[in-house]
Amino acid sequence: MTDGTTTVTANSSGVFTLMKPAGGYTITATTAGYETTSRVCTVTAGATTTINWSLTPAHATYSDYSSVPPSQQIPAASMNFVILAWNDLGMHCAQDDYSYFLILPPFNTLHAQVFQRGAGVVTSGITVHYAFPNKANSALHTNFWNYSSNYQYRAKYGWNVASNVGITGTPLAGAMALDANGVGFVATGIPITPYDDNGTWDPYGSATITVTDNTTGAVLASTNVVAPISTELNCSNCHGTINTFLNILQAHDKNSGTTLVADRTNGTLHLCAECHADNALGLPGKQGMKNLSLAMHGFHKDKVNVSADPLNPDCYNCHPGPRTNCLRGEMFHAGQVCKDCHGDMSGMAAALLAGRQPWLQEPRCGKCHDVKHQENSNTLYRNSLLANAPDPKMNGKIYCEGCHNSTHGEFSSTNPADSGIPQQLQGDSSWSWNCYVCHTDYMPMPAHM
């Protein structure tokens, strides 16, 4: 282990200790047979900082497989069908209480692609199902539907959806639809919460994806994928731990001349997006009003606590969060933090004032990576497809997120919950680098030419 100036060797149990002054460090681990991996950490004076490593086996070369039967190479080599599945954003946000106002409803979007090994993408003759074994009844742990259905409260937020049905009409379990590109399947707006049915708080809940043959009903493949959602918005850091949401309404009334507290007393509740446009919900807001992202970042840029740690309490003041640890992927491994891609609060506000459209215009991989690893032209990473494969037949068929996972949780993730699919298919926690995942003959070529 080294931080660039000090190097130590772990003991036989993998335990190591680096004595460092307070500050921020990037620690790099190297060992034979595994990929070199880096992690960022913050050392507090007089305290111990613990880092748990999850090293990825070094990627094999073609020669490593030349004398090994396909059935012994990786787990996927014995499968006929495989599934790549992912969450679109890496983390969705929701609230624990909807009795005062609504920022974001329970909402998550899952994507999946089905491959017959050796034959390619499969989109017809099959049904792709999703379900949440531990989160089958979201209504147990949120009052969202008290204010979003005709029952009793008469849809105070404008939606009229049944319990455990999301604002797009998507239920907690069902069949995924063919996506807009016709190469995968999607379920948009699944209304899950970070609470399991038994009350356990788990922002990395697992969905079971099952593919069945439409003719025979046989199960062709199944897998589990994380659908992250957190209510760790941390408004209480500034607005107090008692009546936090009421304090927010009072502050809004004081600063903006609104009557939100009186409206609530009279039975009227408001979405933030009624006035402040929110592309995440597809709501236009009111003309002349700042969009929600600009309103939040612009107003709070000089009001939230900041520190040398770029995550806590800085961005994690509002975004999930020191418990959730939303930023957990390969970018985090490499020492990158929120500000490196998004800018700080002032930078965010300045970009939005200059016309950047939140959720529709996001940081691009191509800004730092070479042209082989950039997004499709005028397309976000979450919607981009492989475009420079060694075999042209692969182009336009495989989503970037299918192999690399979604933003903030890119493989290899520090959270083992993210790594179920690469572990199932490759036996490691890395991105889908092994040709045998989808092919029956090994091709000693890179994924990007």
| DSSP of 395-449 | TTTSBHHHHH-STTSPSSPSSGGGGHHHHHHHSSSS-S--GGGT-SS---S-S--
pLDDT at 151 over 60: no
**Burial, 423: exposed, middle or buried (Cβ in 10 Å; 0-12, 13-18, 19+)?**
middle
Q: From CA 329, how far away is CA 39, in angstroms rounded? A: 10
Of 77 and 441, the one with more pLDDT: 77
Which pLDDT band holds residue 46 (cuts at 50, 70, 90)?
A: confident
Of 432 and 135, the one with more pLDDT: 135
Q: What share of the chain is helix, strand, coil (3-state, %, to 5)?
A: 25, 20, 60
Residue percentage of the chain with pLDDT more than 70: 90
Residue 435 is predicted with a pLDDT of 85
What is the set of domains in the chain, with CATH numbers? Answer: 1-55 (no CATH), 72-230 (2.60.40)
Q: State phi, psi for 127 to the nearest 5 degrees.
A: -125, 135
- Residue-level length of the chain: 449
The model's pLDDT over 160-199, given as tens digits with 9 standing for 90+, comes to 899 999 999 999 999 999 999 999 999 999 999 999 999 9
Three state DSSP letters for 357-394: CCCCCCCCHHHCCCHHHCCCCCCCHHHCECCCCCCHHH
Of 312 and 332, the one with more pLDDT: 332
Of 428 and 124, the one with more pLDDT: 124
- Going by C-alpha positions, the residue among 162, 154, 146, 166 that lies closest to residue 106 is 166
Residue 70 is predicted with a pLDDT of 61
Average pLDDT over residues 1-26: 81
Residue percentage of the chain with pLDDT more than 90: 64
pLDDT at 119 over 60: yes
The model's pLDDT over 212-269, given as tens digits with 9 standing for 90+, comes to 999 999 999 999 999 999 999 999 989 999 999 999 999 999 999 999 999 999 989 9
Which pLDDT band holds residue 306 (cuts at 50, 70, 90)?
A: confident
The model's pLDDT over 47-91, given as tens digits with 9 standing for 90+, comes to 887 776 656 666 555 455 555 666 668 899 999 999 999 999 999
Residue 311 is predicted with a pLDDT of 67
Residue 155 is predicted with a pLDDT of 62
Which pLDDT band holds residue 447 (cuts at 50, 70, 90)?
A: confident
| Interacting residues of 11 by C-beta distance below 8 A, sequence separation 6+ | none
Q: State phi, psi for 308 to the nearest 5 degrees.
A: -65, -25
pLDDT at 328 over 60: yes
Task: With beta carbons less than 8 A apart as the criterion, state whether 143 and 165 touch.
Answer: no
Residue 448 is predicted with a pLDDT of 79
Average pLDDT over residues 270-287: 96
